[in-house]
Amino acid sequence: MKYHLPPFLIASLLSFSSWAQLSVQNLTVENLSNPIGIDRAQPRFSWQLNSDKQNVKQTAYEISVRSGKKLVWSTGKISSENSLRIPYGGANLESDSKYTWQVKVWDNQTKTPALATSNFQTAMMRHDEWKAQWINSGIEADSVNGIVPHLRKTFEVKKPIASATVFVTSRGLYEASLNGKRVGDTFLTPGWTSYNKHLQYQTYDVTKQLSTGKNAVGVTLGSGWYRTKLAWENHKNLYGKETALLFQLHIKYADGSEDWIVSDNSWKSTTSHILFSEIYDGERQDLRKEIKGWDLANFDDSKWQNVKIASFATDYLNASVNEPIKKHETFKPVKVLTSPKGETILDFGQNVVGWVKFKISGKAGQMIKLYHVEMLDKHGVPYFENLRSAKAQAHYVLSGEPNQTIEPHFTFFGFRYVKVEGLEGKINPEDFTAVTLYSDMKPLGSFECSNPMVNQLQKNIQWGQRGNFLDVPTDCPQRDERLGWTGDAEVFSRTAAYNFNVNQFFAKWLKDVTADQEPDGAIPFVIPNVLGKVTGAAGWSDAGIIIPYNMYVVYGDKQILQDQYASMKAYLNHVRGLAKNDLWNMGFQFADWLSYRVDDSKSAIGQKSAVTDVYLVAQCFYAYNIELMIKAAKVLQKNEEVADYEALLQRVKKAFQQEFMTASGRLISETQTAYILALQFDMLPESLRQNAVNRLVENIKSYEYHLTTGFLGTPFLNPVLTRYGQNDVAYKLLLQDTYPSWLYPIKSHGATTIWERWDSMKPDSTFQDPGMTSFNHYAYGAVGDWMYRTIAGIDTKEADGAGYKLSVIKPELGGGLTFAKGSYLTPYGKIASNWKIEGDWLTLEIEVPANTESTVYFPTSDISSIKNNGVALTDLKQEGKWISKTFGSGKYAFTMKIR
């Protein structure tokens, strides 16, 4: 029997089945999903295609943007493969407005377009829309830290509300509430920027938090980075003495009218129960002094005092561009320990950044003290010395109220262990929770292989990133430092970009690089700069060029390059000015910071230190900067600059060869780092490179396959070995588990994060110099980049391929690994590379995102054995030891004989 379906039904079934194969997902505006608070005039729209089919390419798109039902922009159907960051081109966006946007996408495989819709909400599009005035508490003692005031105001809502939006920032840190309920789920806002030059405000939709009748807004102001002690020598009040608030609530009523509730002299203030709060030292609260209901409408504030108007500007404020700090993973204690001194210590099992929240029913006046440390010494005693002057304590005087839940507000700690004092009776570990705090970056990458210690290394790298990506990329989260060291951020930036989406995180931080750049182009050692004027140091200040370029490569975001280009150029010119006869051989340099020294550890290997001449390092980075400027200038089509930079690069390399190299290619420093940098940046004549590789390998062997590199050599160590066919040596270094090596801290001391020094804890379980030894420092974690790129083999091409439009899957087998699995959410969607060895055979399963292509390099010399789902492949290319072919999107399962 035949069924005759009506033509419309056939058409709709067909269209349904084709629709089912293509979908559009992960819509973003300004690289954020459903953002609230966009103040860019032409925000950029992106989306991803998802399809079960192979070789999917977008052929056209159509974006439409609506305000309510009103169409404010439509691109019409545009024939294009572009799916990332298409700038808005419609009528001026209005402030504080919700927009929905839709994208329709056609591809080369499906008949019907796919559709998806998303939203964004604007912030204030113009500076002159600030009606609010800066206010501070007006409390006499409120300067030079100490006081944490509450500020409040009541207001009437008389009509039904259509929407209500808060715009708020502070000099200091704020926590805001409406009618007793917290505004937003963000912490330590507005984050840390170079406050006097660059300050972000946050936007919150509070429509549901208002009610008809009397309402109240409450804000607590902490000192934060603004006036807390920062860096050394008791530097306080770096940005100002008095904290201040800028608050604007915009209410749109259902009848079309509107109203603003703003910070002004009608607000009232008083001191809170938070008696003290500082970044390094922690927080003190007296819960007996807590003012119940202080942020509710019916609270009697007649005894509170009037606030003062502060005279700060509003014309330099911008809406936040990055993800705010939020709470993330929580940990319960894995053990309760008693130290030899009888102290009670909670072990949370993971070195984290955040604070401890706990439940307690205590007596009025009872004092609970929490002391945060990263390590216990070999006797089980909490190790405080590496905190230097940071107290890192939380003190609470209890009110006697039962079942209180307590946590700090305006500080954070780097810790795994917490010493608890003041409890009565037996501690119940279940009452304590370590809460992690970090910038709300979305996870992008995962990596796993058959070696459990390497997997732990990957975990440690990611924890190092979580702990130190707290609005700014910090060097360490525990001692009296926690600064945005440029060198650390620079060496780790590629790895960071694999682990999490740091596009906006760095876009924001780079604004501070520009803000704090000296008029002569020098870039400070730390950003925001709290260390004073500098002339610039190789590998550190160079972050101003290296990070924007890296972000462009991995995310394909040209805007970052465009925004930073003037700063990048000014910095290169500055270095050019410092260099004499094209040699950057003057001034202070950190160079290959914390490289191996014989006297560092009792179990010295090789008996020679690995200190590299600081100017040799600087010259290599000078060349690196120029190389990136050439690439950036090409991307931005600044063609006239390219020729100049190219000529400069040749001269800089020549100068290097004359100054640091003998005729046979021996370098003045016979260290791993010297050869690594010279090879990485092509500083040597081609004919001498193989000799240099041999010397590098000999050197590594002379240290019995241990690395001896510091901050600047380490990121390029394994990449250089891989590039020059020494992958087995790279794997040996990766898998080395005695000091100095990546796995030593894991094998010998159960590390859960990356350490500042290769032997922050020495083989004999004593500590390195407490003057500088952190257990949560991501720089050496820069090997993560190599693990993704080389073991899993996932990488992007540069130039036209940036952002994984054209990617590479090129896994290097070795190290006895029997499998590796890597995946990464590129701006186009997921790329994956999973390989497994069984006997003489390798399976390689890959996934290539729609609208992209990937060149796959098969790690075999047996060309005829390569099959895709059992079918032989044609058009394979032989490139050196590799066989390659370029594939369109989709999933593929390859098999090949490898032995």
For 23, counting Cβ atoms within 10 Å of its Cβ (0-12 exposed, 13-18 middle, 19+ buried), the class is: middle
C-alpha dist (Å) from residue 461 to 331, 458, 789, 818, 832: 18, 5, 15, 22, 20
Residues in the chain: 899
Q: Does 280 bind ligand RAM (CB under 6 A)?
A: no
Question: Which residues have a Cβ under 8 Å from the Cβ of 27 and sit 6 or more positions away?
Answer: 33, 45, 46, 47, 101, 103, 116, 117, 118
Measured from the CB atom, the residue of 107 and 481 that comes closer to ligand RAM is 481
Q: Does 593 bind ligand RAM (CB under 6 A)?
A: yes
Q: Does 475 bind ligand RAM (CB under 6 A)?
A: yes
Asked if 626 contacts 542 with a C-beta cutoff of 8 angstroms, the reply is no
DSSP-derived pairing of the beta strands 317-319 and 173-178: unpaired
Piece of 208-216, 463-471, 480-488, 667-675 that binds ligand RAM (CB under 6 A): 480-488
Q: Does 590 bind ligand RAM (CB under 6 A)?
A: yes
Residues 286, 641, 756, 795: which binds ligand RAM (CB under 6 A)?
756
Total residues contacting ligand RAM by CB under 6 A comes to 10
Q: Based on C-alpha coordinates, what's the Rg of the chain?
A: 29
Question: Which residues have a Cβ under 8 Å from the Cβ of 532 and sit 6 or more positions away?
Answer: none
Q: How far is the CB of 491 from ligand RAM (least distance, A)?
A: 9
Question: Which residues have a Cβ under 8 Å from the Cβ of 32 and sit 6 or more positions away?
Answer: 323, 504
Residues 414, 445, 487, 544: which binds ligand RAM (CB under 6 A)?
487
Piece of 65-73, 242-250, 479-487, 787-795 that binds ligand RAM (CB under 6 A): 479-487
Q: Does 488 bind ligand RAM (CB under 6 A)?
A: yes
Q: How far is the CB of 746 from ligand RAM (least distance, A)?
A: 20
Q: How far is the CB of 512 from ligand RAM (least distance, A)?
A: 16
Q: Does 374 bind ligand RAM (CB under 6 A)?
A: no
Q: Does 516 bind ligand RAM (CB under 6 A)?
A: no
Q: How far, in Å, CA of 106 to CA of 81, rounded?
A: 10
Q: Where does residue 458 fall: left (phi above 0), alpha (psi -120 to 50 degrees), or beta otherwise?
A: alpha
Name the DSSP class of 92: P
Q: How many CB atoms lie within 10 A of CB 25?
A: 12
Question: Which residues have a Cβ under 8 Å from the Cβ of 265 and sit 6 or more positions away?
Answer: 133, 135, 306, 307, 308, 309
Q: How far is the CB of 540 from ligand RAM (least distance, A)?
A: 7
Beta bridge partners of 319: 201
Q: How far, in Å, CA of 86 to CA of 88, rounded?
A: 7
Torsion 549-554-558-559 (CA) sign: negative
Measured from the CB atom, the residue of 157 and 531 that comes closer to ligand RAM is 531
Measured from the CB atom, the residue of 149 and 487 that comes closer to ligand RAM is 487
Asked if 888 contacts 857 with a C-beta cutoff of 8 angstroms, the reply is no
Q: Does 544 bind ligand RAM (CB under 6 A)?
A: no
Piece of 110-118, 344-352, 482-490, 834-842 that binds ligand RAM (CB under 6 A): 482-490
For 661, counting Cβ atoms within 10 Å of its Cβ (0-12 exposed, 13-18 middle, 19+ buried), the class is: buried
Beta bridge partners of 335: 347
Q: How far, in Å, CA of 17 to CA of 111, rounded?
A: 10
Measured from the CB atom, the residue of 371 and 590 that comes closer to ligand RAM is 590
Q: Does 490 bind ligand RAM (CB under 6 A)?
A: no
Q: How far is the CB of 475 from ligand RAM (least distance, A)?
A: 3
Asked if 682 contacts 653 with a C-beta cutoff of 8 angstroms, the reply is yes
Which is catalytic among the residues 481, 641, 812, 853? 481
Q: How far is the CB of 357 from ligand RAM (least distance, A)?
A: 29
- String of contacts with ligand RAM for each residue 774-813, x by CB under 6 A: ---x------------------------------------
Active site annotation includes 278? no
Active site annotation includes 129? no
Measured from the CB atom, the residue of 410 and 485 that comes closer to ligand RAM is 485
Burial of 778-807, coded b for 16+ CB within 10 Å and e otherwise, reads: bbbbbbbbbbbbbbbbbbbbeeebbbbbbb
Measured from the CB atom, the residue of 488 and 613 that comes closer to ligand RAM is 488
Piece of 300-308, 430-438, 485-493, 574-582 that binds ligand RAM (CB under 6 A): 485-493
Measured from the CB atom, the residue of 45 and 506 that comes closer to ligand RAM is 506
Closest residue to ligand RAM using C-beta atoms: 475
* Alpha helix stretches (DSSP H) within 482-588: 486-499, 503-516, 543-555, 558-578
Q: How far is the CB of 468 from ligand RAM (least distance, A)?
A: 10
Question: Which residues have a Cβ under 8 Å from the Cβ of 838 and sit 6 or more positions away?
Answer: none
Which is catalytic among the residues 278, 283, 627, 756? 756
Measured from the CB atom, the residue of 191 and 487 that comes closer to ligand RAM is 487
Measured from the CB atom, the residue of 88 and 492 that comes closer to ligand RAM is 492
Measured from the CB atom, the residue of 231 and 806 that comes closer to ligand RAM is 231
Q: How far is the CB of 476 from ligand RAM (least distance, A)?
A: 7
Residues 130, 294, 485, 788: which binds ligand RAM (CB under 6 A)?
485
Q: How far is the CB of 796 from ligand RAM (least distance, A)?
A: 27
Q: How far is the CB of 525 from ligand RAM (least distance, A)?
A: 7
Which residues of this protein are in contact with ligand RAM, per CB under 6 A? 475, 481, 485, 487-488, 590, 593, 756, 772, 777
Which residues are annotated as catalytic?
Answer: 481, 756
